[in-house]
Amino acid sequence: MDMQVSFLDRLFDAGLLIETGVDGLYGRSGQFEDVIAAFERLIDSVGGADGAEAMRFPPGMNREFFETSGYMKSFPQLAGTVHSFCGSELDHMSLLKCMEVGEDWTKGQEATDIVLTPAACYPLYPTVARRGKLPKSGGLYDLQSYCFRHEPSKDPARQQLFRMREYVCMGTEQHVTDFRQRWMDRGVEMMKSVGLDVAIDIANDPFFGRAGKMLANNQRDQNLKFELLIPITSTAKPTACMSFNYHQDAFGTKWGLYLEDGSTAHTACVGFGLERIALALFHTHGLDVKAWPESVRAVLWG
């Protein structure tokens, strides 16, 4: 029988990922973080000259904005909400009692004003909308956040809390689709420069339910989402390490994003899955960073 040790177990054994007892929730070693930091510097060196405005939000967002985003319509299965105890002393007593006897103590928890951020760009749209019309040149933003998605898995590339680096572009259709194409080309070049085997393919989001099937088909038919794929846990089914999304004017309409001439802004975003890229590097070049090809080390660490 094939007793092959899984990639996840090898990452645990090497200390690169740290087990917590929950699938998809891991600690990261200093070495793992150093690879992510190096790759983010590479992103900076490629995208830096574009003059994007950097913003960093914490991994939680305003629940009101989350509701407006429509996330619960499309991806209710992935969302994570933050609930807290808001009761009296009596409620506290019964909560402790529940814990003591091993009953569900979470039932009385109440929703707070915060939900976990599902994608790094979610807090951006209301922030930009609040500023008024976009300048003639459009808008370009640089984001990074831990994101939560309730998709527990033994696949180390599918985590529940992971980091997404994103660039978001707002402007005319031509402006934002050019942006997206530029980053598809750059993404392929970047991955090749660190010795990774890449392919670009059309993709769709995992919209929930039967109505979701139609949304997914529509997204594919209209070429709205592309992914950059790299083998991590399977060569037959490589993993999406970047995605390139064109939202048409859907977000512009939803959030009230307008160009100087009063027309509704089109938007596009490119996302780097930072843990997935690090994992692709470890899978391709081995778990010992010192043994990685000199050319790859040179690109990442100069």
CB closer to ligand ATP out of 8 and 134: 8
- Residue 59's nearest CA partner among 166, 122, 147, 119 is 147
Find the residue with minimal CB distance to ligand ATP.
273
Strands 239-246 and 266-273: antiparallel
Shortest Cβ distance from residue 238 to ligand ATP (Å)?
A: 10
In three-state form (DSSP H/G/I as H, E/B as E, the rest C), the secondary structure along 239-250 is EEEEEEEECCCH
Give the Cα-Cα-Cα angle 105, 109, 112 (nearest 5 degrees).
Answer: 155
Contact 62, 135 (CB under 8 A): no
Cα–Cα distance between 34 and 281 in angstroms, integer? 12
Shortest Cβ distance from residue 159 to ligand ATP (Å)?
A: 4
CB closer to ligand ATP out of 95 and 123: 123
Shortest Cβ distance from residue 273 to ligand ATP (Å)?
A: 2
CB closer to ligand ATP out of 194 and 242: 242
CB closer to ligand ATP out of 140 and 147: 147
CB closer to ligand ATP out of 165 and 175: 165
Altogether, the residues listed in the chain come to a count of: 302
- Residue 128's nearest CA partner among 232, 229, 26, 265 is 265
Residues forming the site for ligand ATP (CB under 6 A): 119, 149, 151, 157-159, 162, 164, 205, 227, 240-243, 271, 273, 275-276
Shortest Cβ distance from residue 169 to ligand ATP (Å)?
A: 15
Shortest Cβ distance from residue 59 to ligand ATP (Å)?
A: 13
Strands 139-148 and 53-55: parallel
- Residue 254's nearest CA partner among 120, 144, 168, 128 is 128
Shortest Cβ distance from residue 192 to ligand ATP (Å)?
A: 17
CB closer to ligand ATP out of 123 and 271: 271
